[in-house]
């Protein structure tokens, strides 16, 4: 049986475009955005379509509509977002700081448990992933490198042997992928990244929980620095 994929409606496209507008024009929580008439003209759609899009944005928590006063941007919290809202998270330095604080807290404990509970199969899986990352670096395939980078971190979550912790970590998956993609911008970044992943692997292989925690924190702090640098160039 074939799978039918629903086409995007005009309302869907207006929703996505408004989110991108809020992100790229750096609207802050509490800022008022242009009226419906602006988006009718900007996107060449009917007022009904724009009104429906704003209702959906309101239900998603992106905006608050105040009758007679206008439409205002809401604060988006990292654990309350849907994938469509990712642009609003990745342009806010305060949210980036919070996300990385959360990642450091969770991943430090994950690698500590991974170092204590690793199996030979786990080590083989991590080693193979690093090999794939090295191949991607050599072929300058940054996008594919980032996929293997995320796979490495995802596998660490599975290694920790704590299903509750793994589930919490998986809730960060979309944000984590965005972090990785934005951090892995150049060959120089990838070269350092490879070494850091190798250092994490080596510490886990030795069963050295403290060094594992130190290296993962160093790795994430560098990733955060690259993210913030990238934002300043926008």
At 42, which helix (H) or strand (E)? helix 36-43
Q: Which residue has the tokens 């342009």?
A: 91
Cα 127–chain centre separation: 24
Q: Can you give the pLDDT at residue 136? A: 93
90-233: CATH number:
1.20.120.530
Widest distance between CA atoms in the chain: 65
Q: Dump pLDDT digits (tens) for 90-133.
A: 556 777 788 888 889 999 999 999 999 999 999 999 999 999 99
Query: Residue-wise over 48-80: b if at least 16 C-beta within 10 A, else e?
Result: ebbbbbbebbeebebbeeeeeeebebbebebee
Give the strand pairing for 70-73 and 63-66. Answer: antiparallel
Separation between Cα atoms, residue 188 and residue 200, nearest integer Å = 19
| In the chain, where the domains are located | 10-77, 90-233
Q: Can you give the pLDDT at residue 2? A: 36
CATH topology of domain 10-77: Arc Repressor Mutant, subunit A (1.10.10)
Separation between Cα atoms, residue 216 and residue 51, nearest integer Å = 46
Separation between Cα atoms, residue 208 and residue 76, nearest integer Å = 38
All residue ranges of the chain with pLDDT < 50 are 1-6, 81, 85, 234
Q: Can you give the pLDDT at residue 90? A: 55
**Edge-to-edge strand ranges of the sheet holding 32-33:** 32-33, 70-73, 63-66
Q: Can you give the pLDDT at residue 183? A: 73
Reported pTM:
0.64
């Amino acid at each position: 049986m074939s799978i039918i994929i629903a086409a995007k409606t005009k309302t869907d496209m207006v929703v996505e475009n408004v989110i991108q507008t809020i992100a790229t024009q750096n609207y802050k929580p509490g800022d008022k955005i242009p009226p419906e008439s602006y988006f009718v003209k900007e996107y060449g759609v009917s007022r009904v379509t724009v009104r429906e899009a704003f209702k959906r944005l309101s239900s998603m928590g992106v905006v608050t509509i105040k009758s007679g006063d206008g439409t205002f941007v809401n604060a988006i919290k990292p654990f309350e977002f849907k994938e469509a809202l990712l642009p609003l998270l990745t342009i806010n330095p305060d949210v980036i700081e919070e996300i990385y604080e959360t990642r450091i807290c969770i991943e430090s404990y994950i690698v500590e448990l991974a170092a204590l509970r690793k199996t030979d199969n786990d080590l083989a899986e991590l080693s193979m992933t690093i090999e794939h990352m090295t191949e991607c670096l050599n072929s300058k395939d940054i996008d594919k490198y980032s996929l293997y980078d995320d796979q490495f971190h995802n596998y660490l979550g599975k290694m920790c042997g704590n299903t509750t912790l793994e589930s919490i970590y998986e809730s960060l998956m979309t944000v984590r992928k965005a972090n990785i993609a934005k951090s892995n911008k150049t060959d120089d970044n990838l070269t350092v990244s490879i070494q850091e992943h190798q250092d994490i692997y080596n510490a886990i292989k030795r069963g050295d929980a403290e060094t594992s925690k130190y290296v993962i924190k160093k790795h994430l702090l560098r990733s955060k620095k690259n993210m913030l640098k990238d934002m300043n160039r926008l």
